[in-house]
Amino acid sequence: MTGKACPPIAPRCILIGAGGHGCVILALARAAGMDVNAVSDPVLTTAGQKTWEGLEVLAQDAAIEQMPAEHVQLLLGMGQLPKGTRREDLFLTWRRRGYRFPVLVHPHAWVAPGSRLAEGVQIMAGAVVQPGCSIGENSIVNTAAGVDHDCTIGSHVHIAPGATLCGGVQVDEGAFIGAGAVVIQGIRIGARAVVGAGTTVLRDLGSGHQLTRTTN
């Protein structure tokens, strides 16, 4: 007599970070039908808080490491600041430990079929990603941002709310595109560069450079 196969174990979804971005990611995950089980945040732990937004607060990160990596999905709830690397460091640290980050797409975003979204990409409500685009791991396309056709976005990039990338734009690793900024077609934004809020970018911006006003 052959026994029935055991059903697969549903992975636990754990949110890392309970700040403003964490609230947005929790709402996104729930809107997408994900069952988020717990949150890890040192501020909550230090305060002795046991629950947050209906989630169990884990005592410390070590509690995650006690769970087999194949049974856990991590949701990165820490936002990205210009030139900041804390979000990137967290992502890479947990990846090295064998844990994975799902792609998150809000049901009220639109991502063209065939677009390539790497691990940990987060697409917020109202965002649009047009055909031919590629977005690298751990990057954010924030609320109501627009990424037009054939754009290439590297890893650990933040496209802030309301920003617009026109067709064929390339954004290299770790760059930050501020809220409401516009990058015209065919422009390249170098690694770790910062485009200030409301800026229109009309020419390439080199790696590590910062642009806070419109230039020709």
Give 189's contacts (C-beta < 8 A, 6+ positions apart).
169, 170, 171, 172, 175, 177, 183, 195, 201, 204, 205
Q: Is 149 a catalytic residue?
A: yes
Alpha helices in the chain (DSSP H): 20-31, 42-46, 62-65, 86-96
Given 106, 149, 156, 158, which residue is catalytic? 149
- Residue recorded with tokens 């409500």: 125
Long-range contacts of 53-60 (CB under 8 A, 24+ apart): 53/18, 53/23, 53/26, 55/15, 55/26, 58/14
Q: Is 111 exposed, middle or buried (0-12, 13-18, 19+ CB in 10 A)?
A: buried
DSSP annotation of 124 reads -
- Catalytically active residues are 149
